[in-house]
Chains A and B, each alone.
Chain A
Amino acid sequence: MKEFKGRVLAGGNWKGEAVVSRQGVNTLATFQKSALKNAKQVIVSDQNNSDIYDKNITRKALCLPITIGSTTGGLVIQTVCAMGINPSAFLFSEHIDSLAASGIVLARVWENSSVIAIDMLGEDFLKTVKTGDTIEIKEDGTVIVCD
C-alpha cells in the first residue's frame, strides 16, 4: 500500500479500479467512438495510446499525467459526464492542463456531475500505480494505491 497526496480540484470519496496511461491522454480520441455510439461504457478508442487502448474506463480511476489534443477536450469531458459514462476519477500526476480543467469545471457546474479530479500527485504516483490496482480516494486529496 502506498499513499499519495494531491490537490483537490473536485473532491469525493471513492474506491475502485485504476486504469493507467503513462502518456498524455488525447481526450477526443479516447472518448469519441463510445460517445458517438451512445455506448453504456467508454472503451478507449485512441490507437496512439497503447497504455489504455481498448480498455474500459467507465467508473474507473483514470491515472494520467495530463490530457492533450483538441481544444474540444473540455466539452468532451463534459459530454461523457453528462452521459454518465465518465471515469469516476481523473488522477493527474502533473498540474492539470487547461482543457481537462475546463471539462471538470463544466461537468461540475453544468451537469451536477460528481466526477472527482485530483492533480499534482507527483511522478512517483504514475510510476507506482498499475492498471488493475485498487485505488482509494479520500475527500482531502489522499490517494491510496492498495496492494
Chain B
Amino acid sequence: MEYKMKLTDEQKAILDGRDGEVMAKVMQTVVMFGDIFGAEKLVPVTHKDGHLVTSFGIALMKPLFSTMDKLINAGIKTEGKFTVDPRPLDYSNVKCNLLEKLVFHIMYKRQSEYEEQLLKVGLRDKDAFTCTCYLDEVGNIPKKGDVLSWAESSAVVYANSVLGARCNRNSGMLDLFGSIVGYVPYFGLVTDEGRKAKWKVIIKTTKKPEAQVLGSAIGMKVMEDVPYVVGLDKYIGNELNDEAKAYLKDFGAATASNGAVGLYHIDGLTPEAVEYGEKLVLPDAKEYVIDDAELERVYNGYPVMWKKKDAKPALCFIGCPHLTFAQLCKWTEDIERTLAETGRRKVTVRTVMTASPQVKAKFMQTEYYARLIATGVKLSSICPLMYTNNPLTKGKAIITNSNKLRTYSVARYYMDEKILAVLCGKESE
C-alpha cells in the first residue's frame, strides 16, 4: 500500500506481513487512518490498557464479529488488557415485558458470543463493562502524558482533560487496532499543538452551573475544538477531589455528545491548565461568555421528543456516564430527604441508577444500598443508551439527568433538582 507517514522498520515489517496477513491489515487500517489526518508518524501507546466503545453484540454489526473472528483465528491479542462500555441488558434490575425481551433477544442475540470474542482478544474480565473505566474502583487509569488507544467519547474527554493523557476521539475498532499494534497516529489531541484552545469560555453565572447543561452549551458552541474555561474553579474549587472529578465527568460527557469535544481545560483545576495557564489559549481564540440567561436559553432549546409531549414519565435513568460511589450516596440521601418532605416511601417513577460493576459492588457493601433500594430505585450496570436504542423504548416517556442520553435517544432531560422533585412526587410532570 502507498502511505505518506514515516514508519519505523518495525512498523514497516508489520505492514509488509511479517506478523501475518491479518496483523498487516490491522496496521494498514491504522496507517491509512493516520494519513487522512496528516499524521507524520505513529507513536507508541504508553498506557497499554485500552478501552473499547463496542460492548454490544447487536446483530446488525456482522463485520464486527467477522473481524473479531479473523483476529482470534490469527492468534492476535491486545498488548494490555482492555475495558469496554457497559452491557446493553440487565433483566434482573431493568425489567422488560415479553415483547421487549423478544425485541432485545433479536437485537442482541450475539451478545454472549461477542463477549467470548472480547475475552479471547484481551478483555480484562467479565466485570470490565463500564464507561467510567478511569474511576479508582475500576482501575484503568492512565497517567499524565500517557498516549492511549481508547474510544467512548466520555472516557476519552475525561482521560485527556482530567488525567492529562493523550488520545484522539477514535471510532469503534480503531480503538482495538491501536491496542493491538501498540501504536496510534500522531495528530490532533496527541500533539502539543492540538491541545491548545481555540475558544476561551468565560463563566459569569451567579451560581454553580449544572454540569450537564454547561457541558452541553460549550459542546454545541465549540463542536470539536478545545475550550479553555475560566471562572468555573470558583464553584468547583482548585483541587481535583472526588466531587470535582464527578462534576467534570458529567460536564465532559455533555461536551463530547452535544458537540464533539475531546479535550477541555479548566483554569486553575485541570492538569495542563494548572501547568501552563492561559498560554494554552491560541492568540486568535474566540470567546464565549456563559451567564444564567445563556444556560437557560440552551436548556429551553432541548426538543421534547416524546410522542405525547405531556405524558407522565414512565422510566427514569440516572447515571450516563455511570455514577461514582459518592454520587450514589448523595442521590440516596437526596431521595430519602425529598420523599420525607412529600410523605412518601417510594419514588413515583420507575427509576434505574447505573454504575460500574466495581462501584456497584462497593456500594452494596454499605448501608446506603439498602436505603436506596428501600426508596424503590433499582441499581444496575447497564448502558442506558443501549437500552433505549430500540423501537419499543422509543415510545416510552423516559426522563434522565444525562445530556448524552437525551442526545442519542428520545429521553427528556431534566436538571438534578427537577428530577428529584418528579421522582419524589413534588411535581406531577
Which residues of A come within 8 Å of B, CB atoms? 9, 28-29, 32, 35-36, 38, 47, 68-75, 78-79, 82-83, 96-99, 101-103, 105-106, 108-111
Candidates B32, B60, B67, B172; contact of A71 at CB < 8 Å: B172
Asked if residues B32 and A109 are in contact (CB atoms below 8 Å), the reply is yes
Asked if residues B29 and A106 are in contact (CB atoms below 8 Å), the reply is yes
Q: List 7 A-B contacts (CB under 8 A).
A: A9-B36, A36-B59, A70-B53, A71-B153, A71-B169, A109-B28, A109-B32
A75 to B224, CA, bound (A): 20
Asked if residues B63 and A74 are in contact (CB atoms below 8 Å), the reply is no
Determine which residue in B36, B151, B171 has the highest number of CB atoms from chain A within 10 A of its CB, and name it.
B171
Grouping DSSP codes into helix (H, G, I), strand (E, B) and loop, the A interface class, with mixed when no group exceeds half, is helix
Candidates B60, B107, B169; contact of A98 at CB < 8 Å: B169
Residues of B close to A110: CB separation below 8 A:
25, 29, 63, 67
Q: A97-B260, A102-B170, A105-B32 are in contact. Are A71 and B37 (CB under 8 A)?
A: no
Candidates A36, A79, A97; contact of B107 at CB < 8 Å: A36
Residues of B close to A101: CB separation below 8 A:
33, 36-37, 171
A111 to B25, CA, bound (A): 11
Asked if residues B63 and A111 are in contact (CB atoms below 8 Å), the reply is yes
Residues of B close to A82: CB separation below 8 A:
62-63
Nearest residue (CB) in B for A103 is B171
Residues of B374-419 at the interface with A, using a CB-CB cut-off of 8 Å, are: 389, 408
Residues of B close to A72: CB separation below 8 A:
53-54, 171-172
Residues of B18-71 at the interface with A, using a CB-CB cut-off of 8 Å, are: 25, 28-29, 32-33, 36-37, 53-54, 59-64, 67
Residues of A close to B180: CB separation below 8 A:
none
Candidates A35, A47, A102, A109; contact of B171 at CB < 8 Å: A102
Asked if residues B29 and A71 are in contact (CB atoms below 8 Å), the reply is no
Asked if residues B36 and A78 are in contact (CB atoms below 8 Å), the reply is no
Asked if residues B224 and A32 are in contact (CB atoms below 8 Å), the reply is no
Asked if residues B61 and A75 are in contact (CB atoms below 8 Å), the reply is yes
Asked if residues B33 and A102 are in contact (CB atoms below 8 Å), the reply is yes
- Asked whether any CB of chain A lies closer than 8 Å to the CB of B168, the reply is yes
A74 to B153, CA, bound (A): 13
The count of A-to-B residue pairs whose CB atoms sit within 8 angstroms is 91
A32 to B168, CA, bound (A): 25
Q: A71-B53, A102-B173, A103-B171 are in contact. Are A79 and B63 (CB under 8 A)?
A: yes
Q: A75-B61, A75-B63 are in contact. Are A98 and B25 (CB under 8 A)?
A: no
Report A33 CB to chain B, min CB distance, Å: 8
Report A99 CB to chain B, min CB distance, Å: 5
A108 to B36, CA, bound (A): 14
Candidates B173, B389, B408; contact of A106 at CB < 8 Å: B173
A125 to B64, CA, bound (A): 34
- In the A-B complex, the 5 residue pairs with the smallest Cβ-Cβ separation, listed nearest first, are A74-B171, A102-B171, A35-B60, A75-B172, A82-B63
Q: A72-B54, A105-B36 are in contact. Are A78 and B260 (CB under 8 A)?
A: no
- Asked whether any CB of chain A lies closer than 8 Å to the CB of B267, the reply is no
Candidates A35, A47, A69, A96; contact of B408 at CB < 8 Å: A69
Candidates B107, B173, B305, B408; contact of A75 at CB < 8 Å: B173
Residues of A close to B278: CB separation below 8 A:
none
Report A62 CB to chain B, min CB distance, Å: 18
Asked if residues A75 and B168 are in contact (CB atoms below 8 Å), the reply is no
Determine which residue in A71, A82, A111 has the highest number of CB atoms from chain B within 10 A of its CB, and name it.
A71
A35 to B59, CA, bound (A): 10
Candidates A71, A83, A96, A111; contact of B152 at CB < 8 Å: A71
Residues of A close to B408: CB separation below 8 A:
28-29, 69-70
- Asked whether any CB of chain A lies closer than 8 Å to the CB of B213, the reply is no
Asked if residues B29 and A105 are in contact (CB atoms below 8 Å), the reply is yes
Residues of A close to B151: CB separation below 8 A:
71
Residues of A close to B169: CB separation below 8 A:
71, 98-99
Residues of B close to A71: CB separation below 8 A:
53, 151-153, 169-172
Nearest residue (CB) in B for A35 is B60
Nearest residue (CB) in A for B172 is A75
Report A37 CB to chain B, min CB distance, Å: 9
Report A118 CB to chain B, min CB distance, Å: 12
Asked if residues B29 and A109 are in contact (CB atoms below 8 Å), the reply is yes
Nearest residue (CB) in B for A28 is B408
Report B88 CB to chain A, min CB distance, Å: 12
1/0 per residue, CB under 8 A from A, across B169-181: the answer is 1111110000000
Report A24 CB to chain B, min CB distance, Å: 9
Asked if residues B28 and A79 are in contact (CB atoms below 8 Å), the reply is no
Report A123 CB to chain B, min CB distance, Å: 15
| New A-B contacts (4) at CB < 8 Å, excluding given A79-B62, A102-B171, A105-B33 | A75-B54, A75-B64, A75-B173, A105-B32
Residues of B close to A47: CB separation below 8 A:
305
Residues of B65-87 at the interface with A, using a CB-CB cut-off of 8 Å, are: 67
A83 to B54, CA, bound (A): 19
Residues of A close to B63: CB separation below 8 A:
75, 78-79, 82, 106, 110-111
